[in-house]
């Protein structure tokens, strides 16, 4: 594996910071590292494998001699800059929603659909954080038993909306504890007309609303799941619906998932399949009060699955509870893992 030149676009954000950390911990050999961000963040420094790097303002000319771009600077920035990176010969792994549903762009979770990397044309999309952890848990069951339906309710952490939303949650919590009114200027959606406190509250809005009453986040989960599990081809009967809710947790999304299989395996069968699945840690021992929690998932790369139960009145239908670090498997780690997989498959470097 030869050393490669890597650029991180959005290097100062919550995800970008973790991309640097995950890259540092990976086996990827790096020759040149370029940290790119908005002009506002230019000049900041970051340490990587013992060397200090200065953040530069990203421009269309930033990608000369770059082999790999990890991008998490927002959809508009990706749309504007990644075509220049591709033209300069780089492979781009994009964590925004800009290219996810583009039929020419593979949408990849390495444990689930690594073969989709083979047909990339320069851009590979990282799925939405909520989609990734759901499919890491469901894909092994789909492969073995055939997945027919998903009904998901999410419990999503503030950091999914960025570092500023995370900070806002903590500020509001302190305001509340001090007996003061909570101030809100970011959540539920930055730039939306109305803002509400998240601390000690629940916000059933993630991303903007579509005209049909679903949020963009909910449609992302629906459409991305079908693309990744190849609904249109191998899996024509998969139906998906979602309700996405922001909860006052800094890091770690929870998901309550109801799913229907073609077959009717026992819970023991499901547990065995999940125990053997890559990227899954089973935490399902009710007698010992063992189940996934955000505070134990934070900082981990795996997706944690527990509370597996049959719906006794609907054979073949089940409930389970899934938690993962939305900044790692939901973003930075999945992106770096895609890069590692590209290298293993000789598709990069």
Q: How far is CA 260 from CA 20, 46, 320, in A?
A: 38, 46, 11
* Distance of closest approach, residue 63 Cβ to a copy of itself, in angstroms: 38
Instruction: Report the residue from 143, 190, 241, 300 that binds a copy of itself according to the rule CB under 8 A.
Output: 241
Q: Find the part of the chain contacting a copy of itself (CB under 8 A) among 25-33, 59-67, 131-139, 306-314.
A: 306-314
Question: What does the block give as tokens for 243?
Answer: 């309700």
Please report how close the Cβ of residue 233 comes to a copy of itself at its closest, in angstroms: 17
Work out whether 319 is an interface residue with a copy of itself (CB under 8 A). yes
- Is residue 248 at the binding interface for a copy of itself, with CB under 8 A as the rule? yes
Strand pairing class (45-48; 91-94): unpaired
39 belongs to the binding site for a copy of itself (CB under 8 A): no
DSSP 8-67: EETTTSHHHHHHHHHHHHSS--EEEEEEEE-GGGTT-EEEETTEEEE-EE--GGGGTT-S
DSSP 187: S
Exposed, middle or buried, 49 (CB in 10 Å: 0-12/13-18/19+)?
exposed
What is the phi-psi region of residue 74: left when phi exceeds 0, alpha when psi lies from -120 to 50, beta otherwise?
left
Judged by CB under 8 A, the residue of 74, 106, 140, 197 near a copy of itself is 197
Q: Give residues 100-159 in contact with a copy of itself (rule: CB under 8 A).
A: 149, 151, 153, 155
- Binding a copy of itself (rule: CB under 8 A), the pick from 192, 269, 273, 347 is 192
Token output for 12: 């100062």
Q: How far is the CB of 243 from a copy of itself (least distance, A)?
A: 4
Given the residues 92, 231, 244, 253, the one annotated as active site: 253
Q: Which two tokens stand for residue 190?
A: 């930055």
- Pair 323, 254: CB distance under 8 Å: yes
Strand order from edge to edge, sheet including 4-9: 56-57, 30-37, 4-9, 68-71, 91-94, 123-125
Using the rule CB under 8 A, give the single segment among 24-32, 106-114, 127-135, 287-295 that binds a copy of itself.
Answer: 287-295
Residue 175 assigned to a binding site: no
Please state at what angle helix 14-25 crosses helix 333-344, rounded to 10 degrees.
Answer: 40
Strands 253-261 and 317-324: antiparallel
Minimum CB distance to a copy of itself, residue 225 (Å): 12
Listed residue (276, 299, 323, 295) closest to 17, CA to CA: 299
* Using rule CB under 8 A, residue 293 touches a copy of itself: yes
Q: Does 273 bind a copy of itself (CB under 8 A)?
A: no
**Residue count at the site for a copy of itself (CB under 8 A)?**
61
The answer to whether residue 321 forms part of the interface with a copy of itself (CB under 8 A) is: yes
Give binding residues for substrate as ranges: 156, 246
Residues annotated as part of the active site: 129, 253
Residues that bind a copy of itself (CB under 8 A): 149, 151, 153, 155, 170, 173-174, 176-177, 188, 192-194, 196-197, 200-205, 209, 212-214, 239-241, 243, 245, 247-250, 252, 254, 256, 258, 267, 284, 286-289, 291-295, 306-309, 311-314, 317, 319, 321, 323
């Amino acid at each position: 594996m030869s050393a490669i030149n890597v650029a991180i676009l959005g290097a100062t954000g919550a995800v970008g910071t973790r991309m640097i950390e995950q890259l540092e911990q990976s086996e990827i050999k790096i020759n040149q590292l370029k940290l790119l961000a908005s002009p506002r963040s230019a000049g900041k420094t970051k340490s990587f494998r013992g060397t200090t790097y200065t953040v530069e303002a990203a421009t269309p000319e930033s990608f000369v001699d770059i082999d790999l771009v990890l991008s998490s600077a927002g959809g508009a920035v990706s749309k504007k800059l990644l075509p220049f990176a591709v033209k300069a010969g780089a492979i781009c792994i994009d964590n925004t929603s800009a290219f996810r549903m583009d039929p020419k762009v593979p949408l990849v979770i390495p444990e689930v659909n690594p073969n989709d990397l083979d047909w990339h044309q320069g851009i590979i999309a990282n799925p939405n954080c909520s989609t990734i952890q759901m499919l890491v848990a469901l894909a092994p069951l789909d492969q073995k038993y055939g997945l027919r339906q998903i009904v998901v309710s999410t419990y999503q952490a503030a950091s999914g909306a960025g570092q500023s939303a995370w900070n806002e949650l903590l500020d509001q919590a302190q305001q509340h504890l001090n007996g003061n009114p909570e101030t809100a200027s970011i959540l539920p959606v930055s730039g939306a007309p109305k803002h509400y406190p998240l601390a000690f509250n629940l916000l059933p809005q993630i991303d903007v609303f579509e005209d049909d009453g679903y949020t963009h986040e909910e449609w992302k989960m629906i459409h991305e799941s079908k693309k990744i599990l190849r609904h249109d081809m191998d899996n024509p009967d998969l139906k998906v619906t979602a309700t996405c809710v922001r909860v006052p947790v800094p890091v770690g999304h929870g998901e309550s998932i109801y799913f229907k299989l073609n077959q009717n395996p026992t819970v023991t069968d499901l547990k065995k399949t999940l125990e053997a699945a890559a990227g899954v840690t089973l935490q399902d021992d009710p007698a010992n009060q063992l189940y996934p929690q955000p505070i134990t998932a934070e900082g981990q790369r795996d997706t944690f699955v527990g509370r597996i139960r049959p719906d006794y009145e609907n054979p073949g239908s089940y409930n389970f509870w899934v938690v993962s670090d939305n900044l790692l498997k939901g973003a930075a780690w999945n992106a770096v893992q895609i890069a590692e997989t590209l290298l293993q498959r000789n598709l990069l470097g």
